[in-house]
Amino acid sequence: MSITIPKTYDFKSTESQLYQWWEENGWFKPSNEPQKPDFDPARFAKPFVISIPPPNVTGELHLGHAMFVAVEDLMIRYHRMKGDPTLWVPGSDHAGIATQLQVEKELLRTEEVTREELGREKFVERCWEWKRKYGDIIYDQLRRLGASCDWSRERFTLDDGLSRAVREAFVHLYERGLIYRGPRLINWSPGLKTAVSDLEVEYNEEEVTLYYFKYMLKDSTEYIPVATVRPETILGDTAVAVHHDDERYNQFIGRTAIVPMLKREIPVIADATVNREFGTGAVKITPGHDPADYEIAQRAGLSIISLFNKDATLNENAGPYAGQDRFVCRKNLWADMERAGLTIKTEKYVTQIPRSQRGGEIVEPMVSTQWFVKIKPLAEAALAAVKDGVGAERRRIRIVPERFEKVYFNWLDAERIKDWCISRQLWWGHRIPVWYCPDGHMTVGRADPTECATCHSKDIEQDPDVLDTWFSSGLWPFSTLGWPDQTPDLKYFYPTSVMETGYDILFFWVARMIMLGLELTGEAPFHTVYLHGLVRDGDGRKMSKTLGNVID
Ligand SMILES: [Zn+2]
């Protein structure tokens, strides 16, 4: 018998053989295994458990992932060698908008078909194909990195089990009065035709035109000068606001102004937040399309006018400008106002312009009906879990490094925190489990209903929106162990031990897991949060698949 020994060490074949050997012998499984007959929960009271931060299925892993894998594998192997029953739960995230966009792009490129042309059902099937293709690449890469996960417990956020957890969480919160439907100003991406989160909007300094014009007062030749960078939104104004103490304008408070070209009558109001230094010191109020104006309108009880269609063309509220693209309307309206003698001047102006990180086009704030989680009661409990007791030993959750506790407290501060908008206008994700009948009754249930719970109409339709990706990843530490069922895994491995992730998602992910864990399971989902730094590119930007600045 002869063995050929290669002249140089070939890590590729050696490592993959070694990994295969580890995996086949079940050495990544916990030493005390609830799924085996010899399991004895009393033998080791405390297993060591980490739920992997699930990578998105949108592509391949990069250096940033390599770092968290190394840190977590270190902790896992340390505890395994100490003899603790140790479990590292692997899995991946369906990553709503990121995946949907990748699949849409590929469809357009290879088949010249849009998502709408394909239809919802077929499109979702394409997303699943994408997941099967790329999900495996991610898992192979994790294996190549040597990650000693228990692959028999691998989970995906859209799996049947995890989808049932999402349904249970939604219905539970709804029944507790912690989920409601309401109006909200969202960042609308006209190109993607969906709402994008604040996270997905980038603000760039750009030179734009500031338009000065006259807000004529009713039955008068007097006017209030106002400046705007978005003249087309004049058509949606519902007030002109000035500061109480501004002697140039405060004599006009309570009078009526006339919307240019539309001749609609609106009030002149006072508001303390008006910045007297900006532009002319008087401002137009467009609550339907500006977050600050929306707040003012809430305080003053102003009506809200929505101006745009989903593709950012003007709707019927724009009168003669209906159907025009927002930028075409801007030109036409301004030309008409010039002819009517309502313009004053234009000047160049540098300001922050919000653009969609993924689509690149200017984001338009719009009012729409969305689903929300009432966050304050959940945030209070999550604050207490980190604050309570004296010293690290007594707290239920400890954050390392400690300086991030302050960041966490700021995020969850009752004065600051806003209700969580959980609906997204996408197809790839957990569809909202609410059905509507023609009379507008809502039916919410753990199982798909066949009729309206109120009037028993069979004519019911499910809400077309899906849930924010963070809603399902917020359940990750317990949904991956079988919750809502009291499985042997859940009983033994939950609460988990350490949550290790990047500091940039302390609020978006970690805080949500703590809030939902406390509410749904009655326990903090882990005792320690360990935050690592981010691997950045040469320009200091976080590496991300969407930015395309990653190193595999
Ligand atoms: Zn009904």
Give the model's pLDDT for residue 400. Answer: 92
Q: What is the mean pLDDT of residues 462-484?
A: 96
Q: 297: CA distance to ligand 1 center in Å?
A: 33
Distance CA(402)–CA(405), nearest Å, equals 6
Task: Report which listed range, 21-35, 101-115, 224-238, is most confident.
Answer: 224-238
Q: 443: CA distance to ligand 1 center in Å?
A: 8
Query: pLDDT category, 544, cuts 50, 70, 90?
Result: low
- Which of 58-72, 335-349, 499-513 is predicted with the least confidence, judged by mean pLDDT? 58-72
Q: 172: CA distance to ligand 1 center in Å?
A: 22
Q: Are 462 and 434 in contact (CB under 8 A)?
A: yes
Q: 459: CA distance to ligand 1 center in Å?
A: 8
Q: 455: CA distance to ligand 1 center in Å?
A: 4
The dihedral region occupied by 441, where left means phi > 0, alpha psi between -120 and 50, and beta the remainder, is beta
Q: 371: CA distance to ligand 1 center in Å?
A: 19
Three-state DSSP class for residue 472: helix
Q: 167: CA distance to ligand 1 center in Å?
A: 21
Query: pLDDT category, 548, cuts 50, 70, 90?
Result: low
Distance CA(12)–CA(68), nearest Å, equals 21
Give the model's pLDDT for residue 550. Answer: 58
Give the model's pLDDT for residue 388. Answer: 76
Does position 62 have pLDDT exceeding 80, yes or no? Answer: no
Distance CA(305)–CA(319), nearest Å, equals 12
Q: 194: CA distance to ligand 1 center in Å?
A: 28
Does position 146 have pLDDT exceeding 50, yes or no? Answer: yes
The residue type found at 247 is E
Does position 456 have pLDDT exceeding 70, yes or no? Answer: yes
Q: 119: CA distance to ligand 1 center in Å?
A: 27
Q: Which two tokens stand for residue 361?
A: 């086009």
Q: 460: CA distance to ligand 1 center in Å?
A: 8
Q: 469: CA distance to ligand 1 center in Å?
A: 30
Q: What is the pLDDT of residues 383-440, one digit of tens each?
A: 999 987 644 445 689 999 999 999 999 999 988 888 898 998 899 999 999 999 999 9
Q: What is the pLDDT of residues 219-277, one digit of tens each?
A: 999 999 999 999 999 999 999 999 999 999 999 999 999 999 999 999 999 999 999 88
- For 423, what's the count of Cα atoms within 13 Å in the CB-facing half-sphere? 20
Q: 179: CA distance to ligand 1 center in Å?
A: 20
Q: 444: CA distance to ligand 1 center in Å?
A: 12
Q: 435: CA distance to ligand 1 center in Å?
A: 9
Give the model's pLDDT for residue 359. Answer: 78
Give the model's pLDDT for residue 542. Answer: 62
Q: 434: CA distance to ligand 1 center in Å?
A: 12
Q: 116: CA distance to ligand 1 center in Å?
A: 29
Q: Are 94 and 130 in contact (CB under 8 A)?
A: no
Distance CA(280)–CA(228), nearest Å, equals 10
Q: 449: CA distance to ligand 1 center in Å?
A: 12
Q: 114: CA distance to ligand 1 center in Å?
A: 34
Q: 445: CA distance to ligand 1 center in Å?
A: 14
Per DSSP, what are the bridge partners of residue 394?
Answer: none
Q: 174: CA distance to ligand 1 center in Å?
A: 18
Q: 169: CA distance to ligand 1 center in Å?
A: 24
Cα separations (Å) of 195 from 124, 145, 184, 206, 443?
19, 36, 11, 23, 24
Sign, Cα dihedral of 180, 183, 189, 191: positive
Q: Are 119 and 113 in contact (CB under 8 A)?
A: no
Distance CA(483)–CA(380), nearest Å, equals 23
The dihedral region occupied by 40, where left means phi > 0, alpha psi between -120 and 50, and beta the remainder, is beta
In eight-state DSSP terms, residue 271 is -
Q: 541: CA distance to ligand 1 center in Å?
A: 50
Q: Are strands 155-156 and 91-92 parallel, antiparallel or unpaired?
A: parallel
Give the model's pLDDT for residue 3. Answer: 67
Maximal C-alpha separation, the chain = 108
Distance CA(289)–CA(268), nearest Å, equals 19
Q: In whole numbers, what is the pLDDT of the chain averaged over residues? A: 90
Q: Are 420 and 372 in contact (CB under 8 A)?
A: yes
Distance CA(233)–CA(446), nearest Å, equals 43
Q: What is the pLDDT of residues 288-306, one digit of tens each?
A: 999 889 989 988 999 999 9
Q: Are 287 and 297 in contact (CB under 8 A)?
A: yes
DSSP annotation string for 501-520? EEGGGIIIIIIHHHHHHHHH
Distance CA(80)–CA(511), nearest Å, equals 28
DSSP annotation string for 278-323? STTS-EEE-TTS-HHHHHHHHHHT------B-TTSBB-GGGGGGTT
Q: What is the mean pLDDT of residues 144-149?
A: 90
Give the model's pLDDT for residue 96. Answer: 84
Q: 436: CA distance to ligand 1 center in Å?
A: 7
Give the model's pLDDT for residue 394. Answer: 53
Q: What is the 3-state secondary structure (H, E, C) of 69-128?
A: HHHHHHHHHHHHHHCCCEEEECEEECCHHHHHHHHHHHHHHHHCCCHHHHCHHHHHHHHH
Q: 452: CA distance to ligand 1 center in Å?
A: 5
Does position 25 have pLDDT exceeding 80, yes or no? Answer: yes
Distance CA(223)–CA(309), nearest Å, equals 31
Query: pLDDT category, 101, cuts 50, 70, 90?
Result: confident
Q: Are 412 and 511 in contact (CB under 8 A)?
A: yes
Q: 442: CA distance to ligand 1 center in Å?
A: 7
Give the model's pLDDT for residue 59. Answer: 63
DSSP annotation string for 365-390? EEEEEEEEE--HHHHHHHHHHHH-SS
Give the model's pLDDT for residue 392. Answer: 47
Q: 446: CA distance to ligand 1 center in Å?
A: 18
What domains sit in the chain, N to C, each tagged with a CATH number?
11-176+476-532 (3.40.50.620), 198-365 (3.90.740.10)
Residue whose tokens read 């969407």: 546
Give the model's pLDDT for residue 247. Answer: 93
Pure H helices in 25-62: none
Residue whose tokens read 């190394």: 70
Q: 15: CA distance to ligand 1 center in Å?
A: 61
Q: 122: CA distance to ligand 1 center in Å?
A: 30
Q: 359: CA distance to ligand 1 center in Å?
A: 39
Give the model's pLDDT for residue 1. Answer: 54
CA nearest to 135, candidates 90, 101, 97, 72: 90
Give the model's pLDDT for residue 185. Answer: 84
Q: 213: CA distance to ligand 1 center in Å?
A: 49
